[in-house]
Structure 1
Amino acid sequence: MSGSVLSRRSVIAGAAGVALLGAGLSTAAAAPPSAAPPLPPAAEHGWVTSTLARMTTEEKVGQLFIQNVYGKDATTPDARNIPLYGVASPAEVVRKYHLGGVIYFAWTDSVQNPQQITGLSNGLQQAALTQDSKVHVPLQVATDQEQGVVTRIGPPATQFPGSMALGAGRSTDDARTAARITGEELKAMGVNTDFAPDSDVNVNALNPVIGTRSFSSDPGLAADMVGAQVRGYQDDAGISSSAKHFPGHGDTATDSHVAFPIITHTRQQWEQVDAPPFKAAIASGIDMIMTAHLNFPALDDSGDPATLSRPILTGLLRGELGYKGVIVTDSLAMQGVRDLYGDAEVAVRALSAGADQLLMTPAMDDAYAAVLDAVHTGRISRADLDAKVTRVLELKYSRGIVAHPYADPTALDSVVGTPEHLAAADAITDRTTTLVKNDTHTLPLATSGAKVLVTGYGVTTTQTLADGLAKQGAVTTVKQTGTSPTDAQVASAVAAAATQDAVVVTTMKAWDTSVTDPRGGQQKLVKQLLATGKPVVVVATRDPYDIAYLTQAPTYLATYSYSPVAIEAVARVIGGTVAPTGKLPVDIPVAGDPSRVLYPFGHGLTY
């Protein structure tokens, strides 16, 4: 915690003022920051110490939970909350458990548009700050805005292509700028915590859950990018960030959302491969580190997931790495942490292992009661509980959430999706597109007047790409075929190619014929388009690894993202208005033989 903190007296007065301010707010409105004046600096630990001393055990335990709530605003009842919490409105959920934080998703209706998000954030803060209590502690309002494939808040918020694309661009300045812009826009909407950046090193090309969420398969590059993004989120934008998923989720072919991965790295491999990005995050002052629901026998041979492992969280992360901030679990609704114990026991074990906050328990009443019982019986000592709550309160104070809990809805237009932010996103993304193959020198394509078929994955993706090529003079036809094209869809696209001058085909995880494309239709589509003799440009719009299964394709681009900002950039590269400069941030192994490299880290062509 910083040395500029509040005295006991000034904090009590300031907190009371904030509570009164909150009481006068409507759910959809917010007071501008000037209505909550900065609290004066005074003796170190003033607010944290005085607040902790006046909290009940129930209030302390509540600070250890971050939950999803259903609803577009704070006070309207939503029946989906009742099975989980026994109350209907998001505000009631916050008050019932004295929650430490909330997390937003599209599927909870939390993220509709900037005005709605701001109103929800302010309404939930009002609920937290106007409880009948001796203390008034604002909420962490969180989301997963990693960008790229994990993006919770879409346009008009500024979009970026994600971590692996930034790794391809190789610029830590660009990575930091992307984090700053994302963080500033989140903060303007009342979201003060971003569960990003992903700090896993994706050394497994068959990884189904990380992939392009990782910056790189190279630990050094990943570490540099993670450190830059932490500084962008926290130092520049002033929100909390969270490095995830400790101790490292990059070398698995198992998705911890639905199963229990095992990482077979040795301790030395962990030191060399997995640890560097987390060490960089800690060195950059990261506020939070998120745990992984996976088994890492070299670090703990008990068979427990890392989330429930005291040797990993307390021994390794706290002890050996010296991490002082908040440890938060990944979602406790994920199967990877639920296989061995019931939901109530998982909550207690995670806290006993060293976690400070529990994310999205699917059994809130049971978990809350179990943690309270663990404190009362001494299974979790009161000193340990106070240490966890202290870390949470220190984060909220040092990140400015105590002084400024509310967002100003009148400031949204001057922050969210501004022309300056959008231009920066375009410029950054232009530097990430990677030209992997150009054997027949098809690129750059002479687009003026050319008839171009755009086919493959994605209704929005194919149309956005066609629109981008049309801006450069092409006459485009769109035939979207999805992630698992049928024979009829393939035949239709091939027939359409006959009257075209060139074909651009988009793929999305075409390597994954077990899940994404069980029929192998994407690979079939590309092969049959190549057989027409027309110039064919393959664009991998997510994982760059598709080329290993499409080696006969002479022209191949990697975007690392199907976000429109990435697709618009690749259109500029195809047409030659932008030269490709991205370099592969991963090794692309030979299909079926991960020991052999088809295209190495650092490969990339230009013109």
Structure 2
Amino acid sequence: MIGFSRQQMKGLHENGIATAVKHFPGDGVDERDQHLVSTVNSLSVPEWDEIYGKVYKAMIEEGALSVMVGHILQPAYSKALNPTLEDKDILPASLSTELVNGLLRDRLGFNGVAVTDATPMIGYNAAMSRKKAIPTTINAGCDMILFNKNIDEDYQAMRDAVNSGDVSMERLDEAVTRILAMKASMGLVDKQQANSLIPEAEALDIVGCPEHLDLARKSADKAITLVKDTQNLLPISPEKTPRVRVYMLEDRLSGGFKDGGASEGSFIEKLSKAGFKVETFNYEQLNFHEIFEEGVDDLKAKVDLVIYVANYDTASNQTTRRIDWIRMMAADAPWFVQDIPTLFVSLANPYHLFDAPMIKTYINGYSANDTVNEVLVEKLIGKSEFQGKSPVDPFCGVWGTNL
């Protein structure tokens, strides 16, 4: 983690992009989403130091310009730094002087810009009254407020806090100094005076250049992971299984920070070009005869191979994604898995074996872009070897998912 993070930060800094290490004090312990609730990093102090602390410390020493502070509680460290703190008074890091001033500033030695995660999130607003929260955040050690509900209201809350003495001018000056120092370190003033702050339109010509497309293909080739094939199904071929039914398990509604449905056309096109006769399960016009009465022989008369392609990507308000089988008798679930060769490909969430352990051939592709689909089909038909190694436990710690 530290090695990859260092290289990414180095590349960003070399190309004039400031970095934010986030989300302090650390996501991943709690599966919930700060857009919806204040989450909890429940590690003990020694555990946190050994895991998250090492990463944050390394990035700070490497020259991180900012840290994004999340709406995440860390009860163990909050109490360690303030032993008189009661449970009811423990706050998310974005409001916690123990975690920002105490842990991030004093213990980890960070003197750059501390910026909150987006403050319209419920994980922030549910912790205290907003008019109190805004100045509390500044006093806790954060220098910048990310996004507002009503900017005039938030601005007035800060003015009132300064006028009442709850927030000192010295604290505001400190925050502004850090912000200006970060801008200066990036050369933004000089670039603005030289009219080079925003690159010319020609700078976009690099997007989609042959070098980048080649790198994308090499990355896909090395990443796509054959998690298991205990039924020895691979490679597949039009000669062995010419008729393929594809179940596209993916988001079909656009909105938020992403658009669903991106992988269907690409994967079907690549599979068809490989010589397969491909049909897709029709989610728009469900056949209730098929749902309730179709037998094994009925399906075998139409299909030689079934491929599930899942593109359940995480997003805002959807940090935990699982297979959403059709509620009417789970019509698209693999009831036929013991009778028809079946394989499963995930192009996003790598943990779907938790809900589909019965499928004996499982592949993680990690991304639904066109390049991944192209390389994926090449691997399915044996044109290239699988090289990827799982960066996580795809068996989810559950007995039987590896069988």
TM-score above 0.5, yes or no: yes
Specify whether residues 342 and 487 from structure 1 end up closer, same or farther in structure 2 by C-alpha distance, changes over 3 A only.
farther
Q: In the alignment, is the contact (CA less than 8 A) between 1:454 and 1:478 conserved in 2?
A: yes
Please report how far the alpha carbon of residue 244 of structure 1 lies from its aligned counterpart in structure 2 after TM superposition.
Answer: 1.2
Deviation at 1:447, TM superposition (A): 4.6
Aligned to 1:474: 276
Q: How does 1:337-376 map to 2 (within 5 A)?
A: 337-376=124-163
- DSSP-derived class of the 2:334 partner: helix
User: Aligned partners of 1:319 and 1:497: how far apart in 2?
Assistant: 67
Structure 2 counterparts to residues 188-267 of structure 1, below 5 A: 222-235=1-14, 237-267=15-45
Structure 2 CA distance for aligned equivalents of residues 425 and 583 of structure 1: 17
Q: 5+ residue gaps in structure 1? A: 1-221, 600-607
Shift of the 429–519 alpha-carbon distance from structure 1 to 2, 3 Å rule, reads closer
CA RMSD of aligned residues (A): 3.2
Question: Does the CA contact (< 8 Å) of 1:573 and 1:579 recur in 2?
Answer: yes
Asked if the contact 2:72/2:93 (under 8 Å) is kept, the reply is yes
Name the structure 2 match of 1:461.
Answer: 263
Q: Is 1:528 matched up with 2:335? A: yes
Question: Residue in 1 aligned with 2:310?
Answer: 507
1:52 — aligned with what? none
Structure 2 residue aligned with 1:217: none
Q: Distance in 2 between matches of 1:481 and 1:554?
A: 24
Moved more, 302-311 or 458-467: 458-467
Aligned 8 A contact 1:242 1:289 in 2 = yes
Q: 1:444 aligns with which of 235, 252, 274?
A: 235
CA contact (8 A) 1:542 1:559 kept: yes
Name the count of aligned residue pairs: 370
CA distance in 1, matches of 2:38, 2:210: 44
Tell me if 1:414 matches 2:205.
yes
Distance across 2 between alignment mates of 1:576 and 1:298? 51
Give the conservation status (yes or no) of the 8 Å contact 2:242–2:277: yes
**Paired letter, 1:451:** R
Could you tell me which amino acid in structure 2 is paired with residue 456 of structure 1?
A: M
Deviation track 1:120-160 (CA, whole Å, cap 9, x = no partner) reads xxxxxxxxxxxxxxxxxxxxxxxxxxxxxxxxxxxxxxxxx
1:426 to 217, 225, 240: 217
Kindly provide the amino acid, as one letter, of the partner of residue 438 in structure 1: D
Cross-structure match for 2:373: 567
Instruction: Check 1:351–1:520 CA distance in 2 against 1; reply closer, same or farther (3 A cut).
Output: farther
Checking the alignment, whether the CA contact within 8 Å between 2:119 and 2:146 is kept in structure 1 is yes
User: Aligned AA for 1:562?
Assistant: A
How far apart are the structure 2 equivalents of 1:581 and 1:519? 30
TM-score by length of 1: 0.55
Aligned pair in 2 of structure 1 residues 488, 297: CA closer, same or farther (>3 Å)?
Answer: farther
Q: Is 1:347–1:367's contact at 8 Å kept on the other side of the alignment?
A: yes
State the shift of 1:518 in Å.
5.7
> Which sections of structure 2, spanning at least 5 residues, go unmatched?
80-88, 251-260
Whether the aligned pair in 2 keeps the contact of 1:294 and 1:306 (CA below 8 Å) is yes
Verify: 1:581 aligned to 2:387, yes or no.
yes
TM-superposed CA distance for 1:401, in Å, is: 2.5
Partner of 2:349: 543
**Aligned partners of 1:224 and 1:280 also within 8 Å:** no
Tell me how far 1:317 sits from its aligned partner: 0.8
SS at match of 1:525: coil
Alpha-carbon separation, structure 2, partners of 1:487 and 1:350: 56
Specify the alignment match of 2:64 in structure 1: 286
Shift, 1:476, TM fit:
2.3
**Mapped partners of 2:326, 2:98: distance in 1:** 43
- What is the percentage of aligned positions where both structures have the same residue? 27
CA distance in 1, matches of 2:283, 2:3: 38
Change (3 A) 1:353 1:284: same
2:359 aligned counterpart, secondary structure = coil
Match in the other structure for 1:14: none
Q: Secondary structure at the match of 2:39?
A: coil
Matches within 5 A, 1:142-181: none
CA distance in 1, matches of 2:55, 2:13: 16
| Paired residues of 1:287 and 1:325 also in contact (CA < 8 A) | yes
Query: 2:395 and 2:237 mapped to 1: Cα distance?
Result: 32
Q: Distance in 1 between matches of 2:381 and 2:10?
A: 35
- In 1, the alpha carbon distance for the partners of 2:324 and 2:380 equals 30
* Distance in 1 (alpha carbons) for counterparts of 2:164 and 2:400: 56
Give the TM-score normalised by structure 2: 0.81
Question: Kindly tell me: are residues 481 and 433 of structure 1, through their superposed partners in 2, closer, same or farther at Cα, counting changes over 3 Å?
Answer: farther
Q: Secondary structure at the match of 2:74?
A: coil
**Which residue is 1:555 aligned to?**
361
- Structure 1 position 435 matched with structure 2 position 213: no
Q: Quote the offset at 1:311 in angstroms.
A: 0.9
In structure 2, distance between residues paired with 1:588 and 1:401: 44
Do the aligned partners of 1:538 and 1:556 also contact (CA within 8 Å) in 2?
Answer: yes
Alpha-carbon offset, residue 488 of structure 1 = 4.9
